[in-house]
Amino acid sequence: MADRLTGKSAIVFGAGSSGPGWGNGKAAAVAFAREGARVACVDLAAAAAAETAAIIHDEGNQAIALSADVTNLASVEVAAAAAMEAFGAIDILHNNVGVTHMGGPVELDEDEFQASLDLNIGPVYRTAKAVLPHMLKGGGGAIVNISSLAAIRYVGYPYFAYYATKAAVNQATVALAMQYARQGIRANCIMPGLIDTPMIYKQISGQYGSADEMVAARNAMVPMGKMGTAWDVAAAAVFLASDEARFITGVCLPVDGGQSCAVSELR
């Protein structure tokens, strides 16, 4: 299928990639466009947003690149207004921004804990506040938030703030789904497990002796024997944003190679 989102407009926050290759937000933006959506690619780094939009353009699809700071409501509102001006509607809101800070409450300093709140759960509030009025005026829409398997499982890493804030993303998604169910708005989240994206080489690899050791260890933790890719997360996002999922809301979907079903040793 290549037309599941034809006629729809999407805004993707965190549409760039934190390094060479495919991050979850970048893949989702391109996947939405390949299914026919017009996509507003939003990232703090203007160059990263422009790179994603250029890929979409080069494939013959429609996109605009926008820069916004998801820790600042006014910045998010400007991005939403620009998407509305470009496309006339926002049918899909996709939240992909997040950060990991290693450490339990003893090791973690307060600035890092606050940054986790601002970057993991804060954008769900700010983007919903900015985009929901447009969706309500348009008669409905679909929200897809990227959470994490860490929202419901201890996954072996000592990142207290990440566990707490991703759990908050899950329940915030449920709250949105229930409050707006009668108004044509669906809200679901995806809980990626161990995914091989550029971010893990910046934020996770320090827990291992080398990048190769990290990849081998993470592959071994997945029941299917290998980490997923950003395209696995993007495929789930396309489905949840599409009319194929029209009777699905309030769901927190693991995309994890079975890891949420397994019992594994603590690292």
Q: What is the CATH number of domain 9-197+230-257?
A: 3.40.50.720
Contact between residue 95 and residue 145 where contact means Cβ atoms under 8 Å apart: yes
Name the residue ranges covered by the structural domains of the chain.
9-197+230-257
- As to burial, measured by CB atoms within 10 angstroms (0-12 exposed, 13-18 middle, 19+ buried), residue 201 is middle
Cα-Cα end-to-end distance for the chain: 41
Chain segment 128-147, per-residue pLDDT in tens: 999 999 999 999 999 999 99
Q: What gap in Å lies between CA 11 and CA 150, rounded to an integer? A: 25
- The tens place of each residue's pLDDT in the chain, 267 residues long, gives 579 999 999 999 999 987 788 999 999 999 999 999 999 999 999 999 999 999 999 999 999 999 999 999 999 999 999 999 999 999 999 999 989 898 999 999 999 999 999 999 999 999 999 999 999 999 999 999 999 999 999 988 899 999 999 999 999 999 999 999 999 999 999 999 999 988 888 877 678 888 889 899 899 999 999 999 999 999 999 999 999 999 999 999 999 999 999 876 544
pLDDT for position 264? 61
pLDDT for position 266? 45
Q: What gap in Å lies between CA 136 and CA 53, rounded to an integer? A: 27
For residue 157, indicate whether it is catalytic: no
- Give the percent of the chain with pLDDT over 70: 97
Contact between residue 68 and residue 79 where contact means Cβ atoms under 8 Å apart: yes
**Annotated active-site residue in 125, 154, 157, 162:** 162
Contacts with 227 (C-beta within 8 Å, 6 or more apart), sequence order: 193, 194, 195, 196, 215, 218, 219, 257
